[in-house]
Structure 1
Amino acid sequence: MESSALVILAGLGIGLVYGAVGLLSGFCLMSSMRGWLAEGDGRLVRTYALAIAVAIAASQFLAGSGMVDLGKTIYLQPSFSAPVLFLGGLLFGYGMVLSNGCGSRALVLLGRGNLRSFVVVIVLAIAAQMTLKGLIAPARIALVQASQTTVNPNSLPSLLATLGLTESLSRVVAAVLIVLVLILFAFAHPGFRRSPGQIAAGIIVGLLVAGGWYVTGHLGADDFNPIPVTSLTFIAPIADSLQYGMLSTGLTLNFGIATVAGVFAGSLATALATRRFKLEGYSSPRHMLRSGSGAALMGIGGVMAFGCSIGQGLTGVSTLALGSFVALAGILLGTTAGLRGALRVQPAQSAEAGSTAA
């Protein structure tokens, strides 16, 4: 089998597993933050933390053993714009609250019959494509060019290497320290320790990130037909999937598109098998407007941040790139602003009840 076909099939398989796990566990950063900050339930945020820990451990093992060159990814570039990454993260995080979930969560819910997620996916894809190549692209490029700097070191291991540590030792030290902190944070919560399903979800999602690196960086390595080294991410792939659906004869199927299709199919199959499939729509035009606005912010912000809560929060962070931590900080702050404080987004049902009463 050609390497490109193998990568596509593997991407479909990774997506299928992610879609099933995402539906069964409710894996989502926005839901995790809402449960933690607004509802006092910290279990889901521990699932996310465990997924990061597993993704870092497995990905750095692949890199340290020479099976994958993470330096070829978009995250470990010699120059990046920290302000644009952070601003993009802010926009994405706040948009995620407005839309009640990220792009990957929207795909999972769409497979369950949630038609609100259909609007989110379409609007996100259009906004992302406009920011990548369309009307918004010149402004984004100008911002990046005006603020980007060459950063050396550009990752935590390379930063530790400046202290005199060898490359391999600095990689181990950086990975072990972060992984230990995240695992301690996750398992310090009694409720999480009693939730085997959430523990399994965190481990599986983290391994899927490493699986994506292995597939594109090792199995798909071909000097005559180079394939981008990538893993789970959803902003650009959702945009590419919409474009591929419209113009497939002029485009090439890739890992990201296959993953997006797999997530939808995996969620749909799981929803049907567990009898969770149920058609749902918007309760009011106001709800639809807010959800669509959040999707647009996610599309624009996700492109600026080089990824979403999965693409940067898990996949990017697994490379230990400094830029990914900047983007993740923006995502977390934007999400927190949407859940608490003066910019808090009122839950859709509460907002509609209040307007009806008025």
Structure 2
Amino acid sequence: MFNIENYEIFEIVNLGALIIGIIFGAIAQNTQFCFNGAIKDYILISSTKRGASIITAMITAIIATHFLTVLTDIDLTETVWLRDEINYFAIILGGCLFGIGMMIADGCSSRHLVKFSQGDGNSMVTLLFIAIFAYASTKGILNHFVYSLISNETLLNISSYIENERTNIYVVLSFLFLVWFYLTKSFKRVTSLKDGLMIGLLIAFSWYLTGVYGAQSLELDTRYVPFTSITFVGPTAKTLEFFTHYKTMNLNFGISIIIGVLIGAFSMSRIDTKYNMGCASNIKVNKLKNSMLGGALMGVGGVLSIGCTVGQGLTGFSTLAFASIVAILSIFVSGSLMGLYMKSKNKLPMCFIFEWEDEKKK
């Protein structure tokens, strides 16, 4: 019988992360929750369904995380997203690289975990290139260039004029609700957005797991649990490192999330098989080349921007960090522009149609 007292804090956190990842993967596979897909849907068929789910997740993550800070003693300023010395030039460049890369590869890091679990071989290539280039940017051949850019004194001094503080929650939520109303258009559609609600809650629960329960690791002098939530680029690189240089103590929250997403998405794809056929688009593109190039751009971009569409767009955004807002806007604008360019060249694939239920009936 499972007895929680027989396990150390970090082991329980890793188990919790695995469960969170399984739930995230199952939801994302079942509804095809996707930031990149939301942009494509709007560009190609003016559909706002997946976009509304993304905004719902953002709103839920912000509100739930806010209440968590009120009810507990966690301090979000201790996270990497609210650190003092922020290089906004690196954040913007990284966001642009990531946005362009996710459109070229037809999906961001979390999306390709789901697509790989569904049986898409090209997604495996994308994930490998994300991992390789993220690792190269943090510990490998690209580290000198990336570190030199991030730590450039001139850029840091210019960036210091705008402090990376928590943005007013009421201003942020007011803007997001306006966008939400524009995308949803009808309260009858709210029930279709439960995927965004659940994923937003997973962000807040992850904060609790690492920031409240995991904080006991310092008091009990056990293995340290980093204060973080769901993100994918860095953990994808660490997962590759974990499987190639295995050490029992290397398993952590981020790696457990990745493994969980793969398990959850794969399991759900066995139950709901309608997306397992791969992309149904007739557009001819070099998928292998796009997977390699897009993955490489996302790997480097994710490191520079301190996160991906989930790492910055949901986790970072939930802290209300100004840098996270800059990052996700950079990803959104660059991804949208790249999507429009690819559409003009007839190279933007629409794999499946995602519309509101009332629109389908029409």
TM-score (norm 2): 0.86
Residue aligning to 1:235: 233
Is the CA contact (8 Å cut-off) linking 2:339 and 2:348 kept in structure 1? no
Structure 1 residues 181 and 138, CA gap change in structure 2 (3 angstroms): same
1:226 CA drift (Å): 2.7
Residue 209 of structure 1 pairs with residue 199 of structure 2:
no
**Structure 1 residue 3, shift from structure 2 partner:** 1.1
2:74 partner amino acid: V
Structure 1 residues 310 and 345: alpha-carbon distance in aligned structure 2, compared to 1, 3 A threshold: farther
CA deviations on 1:317-351 (whole Å, 9 max, x unpaired) are 1111111111112101210121114896642669x
Q: Secondary structure at the match of 2:247?
A: helix
User: Which one of the candidate residues 7, 25, 30 is aligned to 1:24?
Assistant: 30
RMSD: 2.4
Give the match for residue 336 of structure 1.
336
Taking a change above 3 Å as real, the CA distance of residues 337 and 306 of structure 1, as seen in their structure-2 partners, is same
Distance 1:152 1:331 in 2: 20
Q: CA deviation at 1:98?
A: 0.4
**Equivalence for 2:353:** none
Check conservation: 2:72, 2:212, Cα contact below 8 A.
Answer: no
- Partner residue, 2:305: 305
Greater Cα offset, 267-276 or 82-91: 267-276
Q: How far apart, in 1, do the equivalents of 2:151 and 2:313 lie?
A: 24
List gaps (5 residues or longer) in structure 2.
1-6, 351-362
Give the corresponding residue for 1:155. Answer: 165
Work out which of the residue numbers 192, 200, 207 in structure 1 matches 2:194: 200
Verify the 8 A CA contact 1:30 1:97 in the aligned structure 2.
yes
Q: 1:55, 1:315 within 8 Å by CA — same for their partners in 2?
A: yes
**Does residue 86 of structure 2 align to residue 74 of structure 1?**
no
Q: Percent identity?
A: 30
How has the CA–CA distance of structure 1 residues 57 and 22 changed in structure 2, closer, same or farther, with 3 Å as cutoff? same
Q: How many angstroms apart in 2 are the aligned matches of 1:5 and 1:234?
A: 20
CA 1:285–1:152 in structure 2 vs 1: closer, same or farther (change >3 Å)?
closer
CA deviation digits over 1:249-287, x for unaligned, max 9? Answer: 275100000000000100000011223474659998822
- Spell out, residue by residue over 1:71-115, the C-alpha distance to the aligned partner (whole angstroms, 9 max, x if none): 111011111100000000000000000000000000011111111
Q: Deviations over 1:276-333 (max 9, x none)?
A: 4746599988221122101110001011100000000111111111111111121012
Unaligned runs of 5+ in 1: 158-173, 351-358
Please state how far the C-alpha of 1:193 moved relative to its aligned partner: 4.1
Choose which of 99, 106, 121 in structure 2 pairs with 1:93.
99
Q: Aligned with 1:209: secondary structure? A: helix
Aligned equivalent of 2:242: 244
1:291-330 alignment runs, 5 A limit: 291-330=291-330
Q: 1:140 to 1:346 in 2, by over 3 A?
A: farther
Secondary structure at the residue paired with 1:226?
A: coil
| Count of residues in correspondence between the two structures | 334
